[in-house]
Amino acid sequence: MNLKFIGNNLLTFLLLLLLFTAIQSVVNPLFLVEELHYHFELFELRGLVKGTLFLTTYILAIFFFLIIIGVESIWVFRLALLLIFLFSSMDFFVQLLGISHGFSIDEYRLAMNEMGNYQFLMAYTDTLAKAIFSAFLVVVVLYFIRKKVYKSRVSTRSLLILLLPFSIIYGACYKIDTFKLSSYPAALKIPALALEYERLSSPIEKRILEEGIKPKHEGLVKNIVWVIDESVTGSYLSINGYVKNTTPFLRILDQKSSLISNFGIVNSISNCSGESNLFLRIGMTPRTKENVKREMYHLPTIFQYAKEAGYTTWLFDSQTQKDHLQNYLTLYDKESIDHFETLGTNIERDKKDTTLLSKFSKLTHEKGERKNFIVVVKYGSHFPYLTSYNHEYAPFKPVLEVSYGGMDMAHKEKMVNSYLNSLYNSVDLYLKHLVEEVDLNKTVVFYTSDHGQNILESKGLTRTHCNREVVKNEVSVPLFVFTKGAKERFPVNKNEFYSHIQIFPTTLSLLGYDQSVVKRYGKSLENGFKKSSERHYILSSSLESKIYK
């Protein structure tokens, strides 16, 4: 009897697992396998822990539905089926629109903002019909499993236990950045997304480019590219004077070629990825605390300016998961981005950046009249450093043996060397490929990083960035400009100081905007700051403006 009971429960569990993994992503039946591989980071203790946690939470999600189909009351079961039908319809609809991961927080925000425009859905009647039919099939399969397979029943009161898997999954996604609610079955994730939406409770608004703001003349260059690296500290690059030769190619290029203009070690606008990428996109300058809080949600993006200037806009993001938005980018912001390219979890971390480089570099060789504005968000030197570079190209030894742990003074040399290897790959080798593959005769490339890194530089402070008590290297990043005749077109005054917030106004000039528009965003790279203390950054934890000294 006990064996029969166990066998029946196991069979039902496996059927549910097959069902929900199959519909998690209708375009990618191997979703769960790829997701597990992404989290496990094979042979790393840290990845083993994360992968095991993700697998555990997904099993809990199936357990969630096992309880639902076994509920004793037929009326409660029917109500549950109705909710599953509704949530699954919503998820299938989003998937059939081409968003492989289905419903996520971005879609939920948009749905809440556009609730009054539900009639627009009528433009998608065929897609809606397919989504509803698919959800109906899911309900039929669940009804069949209850009727013909699953014999166990639980009392209605036992449904309270559903709060346990729900809470664990929500908590895991809240605490672990790489865990996404969109990775779980629709009937569980959509209520969780509703809770997350209420927690964030900041409805999105469309950013408006003021009427009447137009370019004064045609853009000055055919292609403009922003390359925003991840976690690259300017002071660790040998082109900027670091003692170890982390950038041999760039150092020689700077000495012998005019293709690069090196603005040295500059300050970043913030010490955390989300804020820094957002502020770069909207040209935020750290004026007052009140302005920061208001303007970060209202200032137009550089994509809006580029589109108004007649450029085709592109965003290549090798950090985020397939089709996911990050760094405060909203679906409204996406309306100004003509092409949005991301990568699946099947691409290894150390190959993500070069994969997208091969894609966007081809755009710079196009013939014809089309002009391109391209933003590239790199995976870069993201912590843990061991997983961010090809170990065949690792000149600095010794390094950490595993990516988990090591953030203590006893391992500082190994930690730093691991980081230097990552910089060698992510900065020097990557930019070597960029110089070789991008047509710099008709392209201007701005290269910087979102923020730098604190590698045990302050006693007791082991977090690499996003600290409230900021270590200088957290906000110290490189700034290079690559183009034909870069040194002449973008001269550097060695007696002045620079910040990567100057990329925005410089780009406006290249797009053809008048100086009256450009100066709203501060100094372009034509002029530096006379004093280092004129430069500021915005603390990510409180949005306070601080002086960069």
Which range of 104-108, 199-203, 296-300, 304-308 scores highest in mean pLDDT? It is 304-308
154 in the same domain as 44:
yes
**Range 243-247 average pLDDT:** 98
Longest C-alpha distance within the chain, in Å?
Answer: 85
Residue 212 lies in a domain: no
Res. 231 pLDDT band, cuts 50 70 90: very high
pTM: 0.82
251 in the same domain as 144:
no
Residue 123 pLDDT greater than 70, yes or no: no
Residue 40 lies in a domain: yes
Strands 223-229 and 372-377: parallel
For 458-481, how does the pLDDT look when each residue is reduced to its tens digit (9 = 90+)? 776 777 888 878 889 999 999 999
List, in order, residues 6 or more apart from 4 with CB less than 8 Å away: none
**Range 252-277 average pLDDT:** 95
Residue 239 pLDDT greater than 90, yes or no: yes
The domain containing residue 50 runs over which residues?
A: 2-200
409 in the same domain as 462:
yes
| Burial readout 329-340 (b: 16 or more C-beta within 10 A, e: otherwise) | bbebbbebbbee
229 in the same domain as 190:
no
Which pLDDT value is given to residue 85? 97
327 in the same domain as 232:
yes
Which pLDDT value is given to residue 347? 86
243 in the same domain as 166:
no
Residue 203 pLDDT greater than 70, yes or no: no
Which pLDDT value is given to residue 79? 96
Residue 217 lies in a domain: no
Residue 210 lies in a domain: no
Which pLDDT value is given to residue 355? 96
Residue 117 pLDDT greater than 80, yes or no: no
Token representation of residue 123: 């433009």
**Range 31-40 average pLDDT:** 83
**Range 512-535 average pLDDT:** 93
**Range 252-271 average pLDDT:** 96
Which pLDDT value is given to residue 426? 97
509 in the same domain as 436:
yes
Which pLDDT value is given to residue 430? 98
145 in the same domain as 239:
no
Which pLDDT value is given to residue 124? 74
Q: Are 153 and 67 in contact (CB under 8 A)?
A: no
Residue 205 lies in a domain: no
Residue 252 lies in a domain: yes
For 281-326, how does the pLDDT look when each residue is reduced to its tens digit (9 = 90+)? 999 987 655 577 778 889 999 999 999 999 999 999 998 888 888 8
- What are the DSSP calls for 466-523, one per residue? --SS--GGGGEEEEEEESTTHHHHS---TTSB-BGGGHHHHHHHHHT--HHHHGGG--
Separation between Cα atoms, residue 201 and residue 184, nearest integer Å: 22
Separation between Cα atoms, residue 177 and residue 527, nearest integer Å: 39
Residue 211 lies in a domain: no
384 in the same domain as 319:
yes
Which range of 36-40, 177-181, 350-354, 537-541 scores highest in mean pLDDT? It is 350-354
Give the end of a domain, one of 185, 200, 215: 200
**Range 18-34 average pLDDT:** 87
CATH code where residue 431 lies: 3.40.720.10
Give the end of a domain, one of 148, 169, 200: 200
248 in the same domain as 187:
no
Give the end of a domain, one of 147, 167, 200: 200
Residue 42 pLDDT greater than 60, yes or no: no
List, in order, residues 6 or more apart from 236 with CB less than 8 Å away: 242, 246, 419, 420, 423, 453, 473
To the nearest whole number, what is the mean pLDDT of the chain?
A: 90
Which pLDDT value is given to residue 288? 54
Residue 527 lies in a domain: yes
Which pLDDT value is given to residue 114? 62
How many domains does the chain fold into?
2
281 in the same domain as 189:
no
149 in the same domain as 8:
yes
For 89-103, how does the pLDDT look when each residue is reduced to its tens digit (9 = 90+)? 999 988 887 777 888
